[in-house]
Chains A and B, each alone.
Chain A
Amino acid sequence: MKGEANIWELSSESSKTDFKTYVDQACRAAEEFVNIYYETMDKRRRALTRLYLDKATLIWNGNAVSGQEALNEFFEMLPSSEFQVNVLDCQPVHEQATQSQTTVLVVTCGTVKFDGNKQRYFNQNFLLTAQATSNSTVWKIASDCFRFQDWAN
C-alpha cells in the first residue's frame, strides 16, 4: 500500500484527474487489500483489527460490532477460518459521499470454512479509506459487512 502514496497525493487535485486513474488505483488497492485481509484473517487473526479504523463497524450476519475493542473480542471468538475468494469487484466511491476522502468500495464473494463448521458461501463488502500519514498512505477499513449466502439456514 505504501507505493500508492505519491499517486494518491497527486490526485488530491481530483477534478483534474482522469476517472480512469481512480478506477485503476481502486482496483490495485482492492486487490492488494483483499490478499492481505484474508491472509491475516486466516493466518494471523490477532493482527486483523489493525486493518480497521478505530471507529470502524463490522456487520457480521446482522450482528453489529463497533470499535477496536469489540472487534478484537469478536475476532478472537470467531473460529479459525479458511477463506477462498472467487469474485472481487471494486469502485472508487464518489467524493461527494466521502467529502474528498479517498475511499474504495470493495465487494467480495467466495467460500469460507470455519473450524467445526461446514464450508459456506459468503458475500462481503468493505469501505476502504486512505489515511495519509507523513510519509505514506495507509488503507484502513471504515466498514465491513459480511453475510453467509445461506445465513437463514
Chain B
Amino acid sequence: MSPPPPRVCFFPPQCNLNPSPKRTLYFEWWGGSGPPHPPPPPPMGLGPGVGAGGGHIKIVGPLRVFRCLLRGWDSNPGPNGCASSRAAGGAVRERTGSAPRVEPEMKGRAPEVTLSGAEGRSAAMAEESKGGYSEHDDRVGGRGFSGRRKKGRGPFRGKMYSEMNNRNSRNRGGPPNARQRPEEDDGDVAMSDAHDAPRGRYLPYGPRPTRAPHLTVRRDLPPGERSSGAARDGGRRNWFKITIPYGKKYDKTWLLSSIQNLCSVPFTPVEFHYDHNRAQFYVEDASTASALKQVSRKITDRDNYKVVIIINSSAPPQSLQNELKAEEIEQLKVCMSKRYDGSQRALDLKGLRVDPDLVSQSIDVVLNQRSCMMVVLRIIEENIPELQSLNLSSNKLYRLDDLSELAQKAAGLKILDLSRNELKSERELDKVKGLKLEELWLDGNPLCDTFRDQSSYISSVRERFPKLLRLDGHELPPPIAFDVEAPVTLPPCKGSYFGSDDLKVLVLRFLQQYYSIYDSSDRQGLLDAYHDGACCSLSIPFGPQNPPRNTLNEYFKDSRNVKKLKDPTMRFKLLKHTRLNVVAFLNELPRTQHDVSSFVVDVCAQTNTLLCFAVHGIFKEVDGKSRDSVRAFTRMFIAVPAGNTGLCIVNDELFVRNATAEELRRAFVMPAPTPSSSPVPTLAAEQQEMLAAFAMQSGMNLEWSQKCLQDNDWDYGRAGQVFTQLKLEGKIPEVAFLK
C-alpha cells in the first residue's frame, strides 16, 4: 500500500512568484493580442539570422518581408509586385510531402529577400501558386466580400471563411509549445489586408503577427517527431480537427471514401460531426492531417465546387478527454502550491498545461476543459480560498463558463489575468462578473479587437467590474459617474422596546399575571383578562419552517392564514370572538410552561385608549402528544385600560412555531418559578424570617426570593451566593424584581 500523498501545504510559499509585472506599452493602444509589435520589416537585405546553410534559419526575416509585400506596405515595396510575392507566400504555406514544414525548402537557399531569389522561386512556384491560392475560400457566407461583418469593428473586414475555424490565428508567442499546428490558413487573409490601407485602420494590438516563430519552433523537434507526429511521451498525442466547409451537404460515406481514395495515408475519422454547414472530424497525428490537407480541392462535387479540406491543431475530442485521476490531482496540487505566492496570495497558472512538473509526469491539465478547471477550482476552494490574485493567461480559454463559481470559491479575488487566451466576446465577462476585481488583464484575446475604440472597451469591462482600477496594466481613469454604495449594513438588533419605564412595569406585571394563569392547569382565570368583545386567532408557519419532526399538529386545525385561506366562512370561524369563546379556545391548547425570562417585548402603539404590544418568547408543552416540545411564539396583545393599573385585552393574535436550536440553548436557563394555582404554601416562621430578609437584601420579590431559597434548601448563605452569581451573569429576569 503506497504511502498517502504528501500533504500539500500552501503556506509558506515554496516559490516566490511575483504577480505579472506591469507590462510596458508596446504600442499606442493597450495590451496586445499577441506578442509585441514585431520589429519593423528589415530593409531589403538580410533579415536577422537568415543565412545559407542549415541550422537555425530564422525565417522571421524573409517571411516577414513576404508578408509585408503581401500587405502592400509602402515601407517595403515588393520587388515583383504582388503576384510573385503571393506565390512565394503561397508556396511558403503549401507543402508537399510528409512534413508540413517550410524550413527544408528554405534551407540552404539564398535569402529570399533578394530580387533574384524571389524571381528564381517564382517560376518553380508558379505552378503551385494556384495551389497556394487554393486554400483561399472566397466564400464569406455568400460570394465575395459582401458578407463583411461590421459589428463595430471599423475597418476590419469580416473573417474569411477559411479562417473561421482557425482558432490559433494569433501567434501566442508563449513558451515553445510542442503542439504547434503545422501551419496556419491565414496567409491568404493578407490578401484582403492589402485592400485596407495601413493608415486609418484600427489595430489596437498591432497588426497580426507572423507565423514565423512557429516555424522555427517546429524546427527544434527531432525529425522523427515532425514527420510522424508520434506521441512524444506517454499519452500525449497530436490531435487535429479536419474541417470540410459546406461538408454537410455531402453524403458522409461518399465524402470520407472520396477523401480516402486520394489520401496518401489511411486515416480514421474520430467524432465525425456537423457544425452548422461544416463537416468535421478529428485525426490523431500531424502526418495524417497533412496528408488530408493535400486532398483539398482535389475532389470536385456534383455542383462543380471543389471540396476544401482545412486542418487545424486541436484539443483531443471531447469523447476522449480523460478526467484527472486522484494521484494526478495530488500532483497537480503540489504543482499549484509551487506556483502560489502566499505573501501576495497570488496563484500563477499561466500556461499550466506545459508546466514542467506536470509534463514530466505526463499529467495533462487542460484548463479549457471543464473537468480540469473544476479540479483546479476545487483545489483553490479547499486550500486557498483567501486567494487574491489569479493568473490564467495562455491557457487557451475560449469561454469562462467554468469560472462562474470562482466568485464563491475565492470571494476575495481582486486580480485576474485572462490575457492571451481565446475569449471571443465581451459577453464571456458576464459569466464572472460576481468577482469584485480591482485589476484585470484581457489583452491577447480576440474580444479585444471587437471594440471600436479604447473607451468603449473600458466601459464595457467596467460594466461588469465597476470597482476595477487597472485594466491590461493601465490605471483606469475614474468612472464618469460615481456609483453610490448600496447599503448592506443592517441597524443593530436590540432587545425589548417599552417606550417608557411606566409602560415597562405595567406590561411586565400584566404578562407575569397572565402567564401564571395561562401556564396553570385551568385557563378559566383568563376570563378576567379579556374584554367581552375580544377576539383571538392563532397562526403557525407555512412552509419549510415547520419541519415534520415536532409537528405543530395540535395547532394546525385552528391556525388561520388568510394568505392561504380564502373561504370567508372559514376565515370567520377561525377567528374566536367574545370572551367566552376566546378562553374556551385557549383552554383547548396544550398545557404550557412559559419562560418569562425569555420574553422580549415591543410596545408598538399607545394612546389613551389603546396599548398594543408584541411579546416574543419561548414555552414548553407539558402535556399532550407533543409533551416537552419547545416552541417559540410571537403574541400580539391589544388592550384597553382597566381600572387604574390594569389592562383588558380586546385583540389577541398568537403565532406559534418551533424553537430553533439556538433558542433551545438559551431557554429555561433560570428555572421559571413554578406557578401554582394555590397560594404560597405556608412557611415555618424561621423560613418566613429568612424570606423577608432575603427579599430585602436581594431586591427580588417574595415569590422569587422564595424560589431561590427553596432551590438552595433554605441555606441562606448559599442562596445568596447563587443569587449574586446569577445576577452578575445577567440571568435574573426583571420580573423577579417586580413587587
Q: Which residues of A contact B (CB under 8 A)?
A: 19-20, 23-24, 27, 30-31, 34, 57, 59-64, 74, 77-80, 85-94, 96-99, 105, 107, 109, 114-117, 121, 123, 125, 127, 142-145, 147-153
Contact = CB atoms under 8 A, between A and B. Distances in A.
A149 B610 CA distance: 26
B179 to A, nearest CB: 46
Given A20-B568, A96-B640, A143-B612, 20 more contacts: A24-B572, A31-B563, A57-B604, A61-B494, A62-B600, A63-B491, A79-B488, A86-B541, A87-B539, A87-B541, A89-B562, A91-B535, A91-B537, A94-B535, A97-B638, A99-B609, A127-B612, A147-B600, A150-B660, A151-B493
Contact of A77 (B487, B634, B666): B487
Given A31-B562, A90-B562, A125 B493 contact: no
Interface in B510-540: 531, 533-535, 537, 539-540
A90 B561 CA distance: 9
Given A27-B571, A94-B533, A107-B539, A59 B609 contact: no
Contact of B572 (A20, A31, A147): A20
Contacts of B577: 19
Contacts of B560: 89
A121 B562 contact: no
Q: Count chain B CB atoms within 10 A of each CB in A34, A80, A143 and give the residue with the most.
A: A143
Contacts of A92: 535
B486 interface: yes
B397 interface: no
Interface string B475-511: 0000000000011111111111101000000000000
B607 to A, nearest CB: 8
30 contacts: A20-B572, A23-B572, A57-B604, A61-B492, A62-B494, A62-B496, A63-B493, A87-B563, A88-B561, A89-B537, A90-B562, A91-B535, A93-B651, A94-B640, A96-B533, A97-B640, A97-B650, A105-B638, A107-B655, A109-B634, A109-B655, A115-B486, A116-B488, A123-B616, A125-B614, A142-B605, A143-B604, A143-B612, A145-B614, A147-B602
B542 A87 contact: yes
Given A23-B571, A87-B542, A123-B616, A97 B610 contact: yes
A86 B539 CA distance: 11
Interface string B313-338: 00000000000000000000000000
A23 B533 CA distance: 13
A147 B616 contact: yes
A78 B543 contact: no
B257 interface: no
A9 B649 CA distance: 27
A67 B193 CA distance: 71
A89 B651 CA distance: 12
Contact of A88 (B499, B563, B636): B563
Contacts of B651: 91, 93-94, 97, 105
B493 to A, nearest CB: 4
B653 interface: yes
B486 A59 contact: no
Contacts of A114: 488, 490
A30 B572 CA distance: 14
Cβ-closest 8 pairs across A and B: A116-B488, A62-B494, A94-B650, A61-B493, A143-B605, A97-B610, A88-B563, A151-B493
Contacts of A62: 493-497, 600, 602
B74 interface: no
A105 B602 contact: no
A79 B489 contact: yes
A85 B563 CA distance: 9
Nearest to B534: A94
B460 to A, nearest CB: 25
Nearest to A62: B494
Interface of B: 486-497, 499, 531, 533-535, 537, 539-543, 545, 560-563, 568, 571-572, 575, 577, 600, 602-605, 609-610, 612, 614, 616, 632, 634, 636, 638-640, 650-651, 653, 655, 657, 660, 662, 666
A109 B490 CA distance: 19
Nearest to A20: B572
A97 B346 CA distance: 66
A149 B660 contact: yes
A30 B539 CA distance: 15
Given A79-B488, A105-B638, A148-B493, A125 B541 contact: no
A44 B614 CA distance: 28
A74 B487 CA distance: 11
B545 A152 contact: no
A77 to B, nearest CB: 6
A87 B575 contact: no
A63 B490 CA distance: 11
A97 B491 CA distance: 32
B539 A89 contact: yes
A117 to B, nearest CB: 6
B315 to A, nearest CB: 41
B562 A79 contact: no
A145 to B, nearest CB: 4
A105 B639 CA distance: 12
Contacts of A107: 539, 634, 636, 653, 655
A98 B568 contact: no
Contacts of B634: 107, 109, 123, 147
A57 B651 CA distance: 20
B484 to A, nearest CB: 11
Nearest to B603: A59
Contacts of A23: 571-572, 575
